[in-house]
């Protein structure tokens, strides 16, 4: 078993790899240590052929780097002379091959966590390729604290300068560069502990090694919509993934129609009944409690989905660690109970983000878009962040749940690949429904006293049937746009590159000192990769992103909304 770990300086690669290896009872091999050892050999005019790796205490320690029987591990750490040249050493094919020959000679057929640049490229059969990252300021401060703790460097500022330059050079170089590829599992360590991250990966490895894995649990709360539920389940039967890889759980909130009988006509669908009519939040909690899937997908009973729906959500979560995926929704006209071939008008959230950014983490309050009609998240998040069951009737239980998730440092992804087609029913707001929503809003504001929560009250005028304020106008007030100095537009319509994301990454690195915000325009088929790994790019330069079509349709509105000096680079 091989697991590879790559990432930026200060993201915690070494500590994570070592703790993960200890937890698994296997070796931890650091490619960075070996490159530093090669640099040490060059500085001291020694032959790298005498380098080797050893361990003490049954691997429960960092690897020891030996030169001709001498332990040089401490000499190669925190060494300014080595820090100045180690990136250029790793950028040379000859030294990369030497480093990997040392690893493979030492490793043989044993299992290991291998940490360092391009490890996933040299070990294509790894069961998991992990990339660690953190926000720039956090990484810089971690490196500073570690240097101060060890007290090995006289000029800390000079060392940090070369450390930062090494990180940038590692991303630009052609050999062994720091790249994000689509087979990587991205973890942002900014606000999560070492223990949390190791446990999450241990759980993931356990799932990977299971022969009979349930990849996803689709949880459907149901109440007196048996005709809609029947169509919903009919489309879920057509998924392009083996039925043994996912489960469907219908939680009946004490329906008085034939919901139970409808579910019985779909073999394999799990049916459970709630203890009394307790609302959709309670029904979802009951479903999560018995769910066995690695990914939890909440789906309303009046939503129809395409055949790649479940696989799309699984794919998102195979590549990122703490992501909540919100699916787009299209409202079907009356008497249409199937997914039509013609285009259906976008809902308000899609229209909104097509003018703000497809990456909704750019928004100040992305939790405000959290509608649970179509949403997925890792099982560990769903089981640790359940719905508040005190909300009654319609509205706010999903927004409140999203608010808590947001404060639990999740990443958000709005997917127009995962479209749900909403079967027609009367959605008009009346006084009774609005008054219930107002009571739920008051409960939300009692639970959460932050200014961002208080601001949500301004949407009352949107839902009030006697006012019907414009949603877009209210959202502009709710989510004022930040001001930036220099802004550049990168309109990347040429996608002939082998690694499109890496191409964008290098573009960002070239202009990072010149601008405060990038407007990124990309072909639509590359959008999802950008969204999955958006935090990695955002740690280089803040950016907003649109597809080519969105940009052409909304360019004037977007530029007008930013109201800054626009330096256009095509």
pLDDT at position 127 is 92
- Rounded to 5 degrees, φ, ψ at 413 are -140, 120
Which CATH number goes with the domain that contains 73? 3.40.50.300
Strand order in the sheet with 486-491: 543-547, 517-522, 486-491, 565-569
**Does the residue 442 lie in any domain?**
no
415 and 278 within one domain: yes
Cα–Cα distance for residue pair 564/542, rounded to 1 Å: 15
* pLDDT tier at 570, thresholds 50, 70, 90: very low
Task: Decide if 461 contacts 472 (C-beta within 8 A).
Answer: no
pLDDT at position 75 is 86
* pLDDT tier at 58, thresholds 50, 70, 90: low
- Residue of 143, 191, 133 lying closest to 164 (CA atoms): 143
Cα–Cα distance for residue pair 161/179, rounded to 1 Å: 22
Both structure tokens of 245: 């890889």
395 and 292 within one domain: yes
pLDDT at position 153 is 60
Tell me which of 387, 404, 427 is where a domain ends: 427
Residue 568 has pLDDT above 60, yes or no: no
Cα–Cα distance for residue pair 369/452, rounded to 1 Å: 14
**Does the residue 460 lie in any domain?**
no
Mean per-residue pLDDT, 118-133: 87
DSSP 360: G
338 and 316 within one domain: yes
Residue 347 has pLDDT above 50, yes or no: yes
**pLDDT tens across 18-27, in order?**
999 999 999 8
Sign of CA dihedral 438, 419, 252, 388: negative
Domain containing 519: what range?
Answer: 486-569
**Does the residue 476 lie in any domain?**
no
251 and 196 within one domain: no
19 and 160 within one domain: yes
Which CATH number goes with the domain that contains 294? 3.90.550.10
508 and 373 within one domain: no
Number of structural domains, the chain? Answer: 3
**pLDDT tens across 378-400, in order?**
999 999 999 999 998 888 999 99
60 and 27 within one domain: yes
pLDDT at position 17 is 93
pLDDT at position 196 is 93
247 and 175 within one domain: no
**Does the residue 437 lie in any domain?**
no
Residue 39 has pLDDT above 60, yes or no: yes
Number of H helices, E strands in the chain: 24, 20
Cα–Cα distance for residue pair 296/315, rounded to 1 Å: 13
**pLDDT tens across 465-503, in order?**
999 999 989 998 998 877 777 889 999 876 556 688 888
Q: Cα 271 to the chain's mean position, in Å?
A: 31
Tell me which of 170, 190, 209 is where a domain ends: 209
**Does the residue 454 lie in any domain?**
no
pLDDT at position 138 is 85
**Does the residue 435 lie in any domain?**
no
Mean per-residue pLDDT, 228-237: 96
**pLDDT tens across 72-114, in order?**
888 888 787 887 888 788 778 888 888 888 888 887 778 899 9
DSSP 387: P
- Residue of 30, 172, 80 lying closest to 510 (CA atoms): 172
**Does the residue 446 lie in any domain?**
no
221 and 196 within one domain: no
510 and 390 within one domain: no
The mean pLDDT of the chain is 88
Residue 173 has pLDDT above 90, yes or no: no
169 and 236 within one domain: no
**pLDDT tens across 500-534, in order?**
888 898 889 888 888 889 999 999 999 999 999 99
- What are the residues facing 170 on neighbouring strands? none
pLDDT at position 98 is 86
Tell me which of 178, 209, 240 is where a domain ends: 209
Task: Decide if 352 contacts 470 (C-beta within 8 A).
Answer: no
Mean per-residue pLDDT, 231-247: 94
pLDDT at position 340 is 92
**pLDDT tens across 396-451, in order?**
999 999 999 999 999 999 998 999 999 998 888 899 999 999 999 999 999 999 99
Task: Decide if 528 contacts 547 (C-beta within 8 A).
Answer: no
77 and 16 within one domain: yes
Residue 162 has pLDDT above 70, yes or no: no
**Does the residue 148 lie in any domain?**
yes
* pLDDT tier at 343, thresholds 50, 70, 90: confident
């Amino acid at each position: 078993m091989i697991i590879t770990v790559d990432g930026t300086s200060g993201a915690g690669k070494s500590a994570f790899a070592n703790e993960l290896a200890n937890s698994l009872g296997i070796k931890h091999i650091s490619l960075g240590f070996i490159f530093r050892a090669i640099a040490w050999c060059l500085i001291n005019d020694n032959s790298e052929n005498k380098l080797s790796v050893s361990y003490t205490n049954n691997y429960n320690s960092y690897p020891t780097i030996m030169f001709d029987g001498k332990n040089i591990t401490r000499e190669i750490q925190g060494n300014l002379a080595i820090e100045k040249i180690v990136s250029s050493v790793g950028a040379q094919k000859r030294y990369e091959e030497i480093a990997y020959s040392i690893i493979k000679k030492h490793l043989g057929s044993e299992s290991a966590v291998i940490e360092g640049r391009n490890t996933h490229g040299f070990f294509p059969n790894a069961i998991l390729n992990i990339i660690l990252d953190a926000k720039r300021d956090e990484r810089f401060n971690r490196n500073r604290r570690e240097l101060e703790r060890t007290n090995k460097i006289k000029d800390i500022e000079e060392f940090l300068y070369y450390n930062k330059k090494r990180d940038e050079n590692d991303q630009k170089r052609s050999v062994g560069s720091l790249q994000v590829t689509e087979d990587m599992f991205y973890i942002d360590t900014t606000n999560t502990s070492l223990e949390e991250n190791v446990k999450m990966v241990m759980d993931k490895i356990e799932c990977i090694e299971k022969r009979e894995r349930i990849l996803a649990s689709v949880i459907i709360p149901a109440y007196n919509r048996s005709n809609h539920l029947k169509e919903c389940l009919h489309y879920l039967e057509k998924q392009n993934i083996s039925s043994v890889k996912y489960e469907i759980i219908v939680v009946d909130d004490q329906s008085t129609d034939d919901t139970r009988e409808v579910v019985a006509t779909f073999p394999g669908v799990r049916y459970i009944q709630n203890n009394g009519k307790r609302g959709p939040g309670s029904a979802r909690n009951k479903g999560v409690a018995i769910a066995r899937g690695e990914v939890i997908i909440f789906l309303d009973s009046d939503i129809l989905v395409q055949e790649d729906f479940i696989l799309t959500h699984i794919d998102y979560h195979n590549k990122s660690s703490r992501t909540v995926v919100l699916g787009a929704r299209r409202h079907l006209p009356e008497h249409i109970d199937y997914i039509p071939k013609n285009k259906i008008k976008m809902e308000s959230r899609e229209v909104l983000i097509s003018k703000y950014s497809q990456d909704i983490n750019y928004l100040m309050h992305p939790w405000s878009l959290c509608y649970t009609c179509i949403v997925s998240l890792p099982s560990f998040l769903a089981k640790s962040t359940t719905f508040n069951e005190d909300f009654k009737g319609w509205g706010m239980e999903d927004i409140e749940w999203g608010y808590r998730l947001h404060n639990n440092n999740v990443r958000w992804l709005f997917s127009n690949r995962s479209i749900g087609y909403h079967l027609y029913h009367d959605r008009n707001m009346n006084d009774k429904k609005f008054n219930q929503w107002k009571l739920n809003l008051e409960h939300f504001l009692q639970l959460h006293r932050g200014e961002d929560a208080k601001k949500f009250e301004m949407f009352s005028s949107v839902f009030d049937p006697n006012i019907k304020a414009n949603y877009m106008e209210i959202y502009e007030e709710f989510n004022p746009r930040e001001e930036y100095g220099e802004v550049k537009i990168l309109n990347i319509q040429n996608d002939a590159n082998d690694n499109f994301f890496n191409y964008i990454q290098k573009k960002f690195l070239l202009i990072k000192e010149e601008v405060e915000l990038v407007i990124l325009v990309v072909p639509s088929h590359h959008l999802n990769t950008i969204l999955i790994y958006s935090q990695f790019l955002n740690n280089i330069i803040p950016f907003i992103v649109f597809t080519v079509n969105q940009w052409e349709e909304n360019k004037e509105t977007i530029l007008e909304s930013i109201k800054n000096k626009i330096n256009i680079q095509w």
